[in-house]
Amino acid sequence: MHIYLIGMPGAGKTTLGRNLAAQLGRTFLDLDEAIEEAAGKTIPQIFEEKGEAYFRELEAETLKTVSFSAEKLVVATGGGTPCFHQNMAFMHAHGLTVYLKVSPEVLAERLLASDLSARPLLKNKTKPLVMKYLRETLRERATFYEQAGIIFENPSVQLTAGASLAAFINRYESTA
Ligand SMILES: Nc1ncnc2c1ncn2[C@@H]1O[C@H](COP(=O)(O)OP(=O)(O)O)[C@@H](O)[C@H]1O
Ligand SMILES: O=C(O)C1=C[C@@H](OP(=O)(O)O)[C@@H](O)[C@H](O)C1
Ligand SMILES: [Mg+2]
ipTM: 0.98
**Closest by CA position to 101, among listed 6, 23, 173:** 6
Query: Annotated binding residue at 14?
Result: yes
The predicted structure's pLDDT at residue 162: 45
Its sign, for the CA torsion 31, 34, 38, 39, is positive
Ordered alpha helix ranges (H), 68-149: 87-94, 104-112, 127-145
| β-strand partners of 89 | none
Yes or no: say if 134 and 106 are a contact pair by the CB < 8 Å rule.
Answer: no
Below-50 pLDDT ranges, the chain: 161-163, 166
Q: Which of 61, 79, 73 is nearest to 138 (CA)?
A: 79
pTM over 0.80: yes
- The atom of ligand 1 lying closest to the CA of 5 is 22
Q: What is the pLDDT of residue 25?
A: 83
Contact yes or no for 107/134 (Cβ under 8 A): yes
pLDDT of 159? 62
Q: Is 119 annotated as a binding residue?
A: yes
pLDDT at 98: 92
Cβ proximity of 58 and 13 under 8 Å = no
Nearest CA to ligand 2 atom 7: 78
- Domains, the chain, with CATH or none: 2-175 (3.40.50.300)
The reply, when asked if residue 171 is annotated as ligand binding, is no
Ligand 2 centroid – CA 32 distance (Å)? 8
Distance in Å, CA 140 to ligand 3 centroid: 19
Alpha helices in the chain (DSSP H): 13-24, 31-39, 43-50, 52-67, 87-94, 104-112, 127-145, 162-175
One-letter identity of residue 101: K
Atom 16, ligand 1: residue with shortest CA distance: 12
Protein residues whose CB sits closer than 6 Å to any atom of ligand 2: 9, 13-14, 32, 43, 78-80, 119-121
DSSP 8-state secondary structure symbol assigned to residue 66: H
